[in-house]
Structure 1
């Protein structure tokens, strides 16, 4: 057998294998230096997330039709410790103590907490705070209007639904089709 031809064939195979290895590393290299997005905790909602001393709020928001109108506080209060605790949540100058058992979650929707004034219009933020055992963290809490159907039943009192929904229209076309 020809040694030069054998050596040349080996070099071609080695080169092809090396090229494949480099291509594989290049294709997977991004995940080696970037965090995996699905591993980053977040709240998939319109509210905010805040943590303080083993307690926290998830999806905290206010549903209201205006800054000077009543607002319904929604979201959850969590206790990530092994001890029962009282968490104070303040929204637009009104506060509520929420007793949360160890390792549990309390839904503020179940509490039906309504503040006298939302403190900001829909699409803006109202001031608030989260407090646990004397420690406090200031919060900017989003105010949501009843434009989205899932929030309409949460608005305290009566409101003119048409004022919030007349500008909406149902999309019935398909991608690339006529409007």
Structure 2
């Protein structure tokens, strides 16, 4: 009986050491899936606490052509908000009204840039703002319709 007690104690100590070692991994390496990110080709812009533009991008056939604005404005706050998109250097400001707890699809809203300053594959210097949160500068990617599902979207645009 004396032999099993040291063995059990050794197993318990080894088990505790393994548990502490493995638990330490999450301290040194934060869980990256808990960090918000843009899982698609567009960019994610956190405008204010609770107001986010998700998957913002522009689809166009070429430089100087009309560009279809894709993405969504999500309002997780308790107040209605007006988000203003300024796309490009000479682009006008486009206001987007979003009710509290709602979202607006920019593609379905039919937003577009009349004449793109950059070709597909480049980024368009832009900003996203609200009256309470200020402006956030963001490089918006410009894509063409060579990759599905953008080929279908661009045909519809």
Give the TM-score, by structure 1 length: 0.74
Is 1:23 paired with 2:18?
yes
Compare the two structures and name the one with the higher strand fraction. Answer: 2
**Unpaired segments ≥5 residues, structure 1:** 159-179
CA deviations 1:87-110 (Å, max 9, x no partner) are 111112233111111121110011
Is the CA contact 1:114–1:156 (under 8 Å) kept in the aligned structure 2?
Answer: no
Rounded to whole Å, the distance in 1 between the matches of 2:130 and 2:4 is 72
The structural deviation recorded for 1:37 is: 2.5
Q: 1:129 aligns with which of 106, 127, 147?
A: 127
What is the match of residue 109 of structure 1? Answer: 107
Q: Which has the higher contact order (CA 8 A, sep 6+)?
A: 2
**Unpaired segments ≥5 residues, structure 2:** none
Is the CA contact 1:119–1:127 (under 8 Å) kept in the aligned structure 2?
Answer: no
Count of aligned pairs between the two proteins? 153
Rounded to whole Å, the distance in 2 between the matches of 1:130 and 1:72 is 17
The structural deviation recorded for 1:11 is: 2.7
Give the TM-score, by structure 2 length: 0.84
Is 1:142 paired with 2:141?
yes
RMSD, aligned CA: 2.3
What is the match of residue 56 of structure 1? Answer: 52
Runs of 4+ more than 4 Å apart: none
What is the match of residue 61 of structure 2? Answer: 65
What is the match of residue 37 of structure 2? Answer: 42
